[in-house]
């Protein structure tokens, strides 16, 4: 009987998981400002600047990406930080500014807070979240805001959403959506545009009623003065 030659067993390939991040080019994916009233002649206002009407209230937009934080612990944290942003919005109202506030959180710590100052500073870029991101960059001494979450009471406009892309934030949490200028899911979705070089997560509708009421009360009071 012919003896078959013994087959040599090859060693098994290692299946150890690499701890190195995948080179997918995406950073920070774990995890306006008011109804913009513009200075225009004769009291005219741009379409994106209308105050909320009773018929069309501020409403939270739908999440633009699956995997939004659903744990109660994360929701509680989001509400806690959004209340701080609301404090900033109220400070803006006391100064006669449209009430919008923002804070920036990094590693669980508030690193910047700001509110709308367009009238007081005569600065068209002085939106709450824009100012908060600039302050965060100065405080952290880096322009990349990787690891940061921006909390803002009203859905960011195109300008502020664009800065979020350029600053490489991880996440934005906003309260009321902006049907006339929102750029994180309502009119546009800058947060998940494959043509851009960065994407970030968005959580809409946190304390939406409180955020919307601040705006409604402000515009009602101003209409009564006219």
CA distance between the termini of the chain? 110
Q: Considering 129, 155, 199, 201, which one is annotated as catalytic?
A: 129
Q: Alpha-carbon distance 32 to 44, whole Å?
A: 17
Tell me which DSSP letter residue 184 carries. B
Distance CA 78, CA 205 (A): 10
**Structure tokens given for 155:** 């859905």
What's the residue count for the chain? 226
**Residues with Cβ within 8 Å of residue 119, at least 6 apart in sequence:** 95, 96, 97
Would you list the DSSP string of 46-112?
-GGGPPPPSSS---PPPPSSS-----HHHHHHHHHHHHHHHHHHHHHHHTTS---EEEEEETTEEEE
The span from the CA of 167 to the CA of 63, in Å, is 22
54 is catalytic: no
- Computed over its alpha carbons, how large is the radius of gyration of the chain? 23
Catalytic residues: 129
């Amino acid at each position: 009987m012919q003896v078959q030659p013994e087959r040599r067993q090859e060693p098994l390939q290692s299946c150890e998981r690499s701890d190195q991040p995948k080179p997918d080019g995406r950073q920070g994916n774990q995890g306006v400002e008011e109804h913009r009233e513009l200075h225009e002649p004769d009291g005219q206002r741009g379409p994106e600047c209308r105050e909320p009407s009773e018929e069309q209230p501020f409403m939270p937009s739908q999440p633009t990406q699956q995997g939004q934080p659903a744990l109660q612990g994360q929701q509680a944290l989001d509400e806690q930080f959004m209340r701080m942003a609301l404090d900033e919005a109220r400070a803006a109202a006391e100064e006669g500014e449209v009430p919008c506030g923002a804070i920036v959180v990094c590693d669980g710590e508030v690193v910047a807070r700001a509110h709308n100052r367009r009238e007081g500073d005569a600065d068209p870029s002085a939106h709450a979240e824009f100012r908060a991101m600039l302050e965060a960059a100065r405080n952290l001494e880096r322009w990349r805001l990787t690891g940061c979450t921006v909390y803002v009471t009203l859905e960011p406009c195109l300008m502020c959403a664009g800065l979020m892309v350029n600053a490489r934030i991880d996440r934005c949490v906003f309260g009321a959506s902006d049907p006339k200028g929102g750029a994180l899911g309502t009119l546009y979705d800058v947060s998940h545009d494959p043509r851009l070089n960065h994407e970030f997560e968005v959580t809409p509708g946190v304390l939406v009623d409180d955020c919307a009421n601040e705006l409604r009360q402000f515009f009602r009071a101003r209409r009564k003065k006219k």
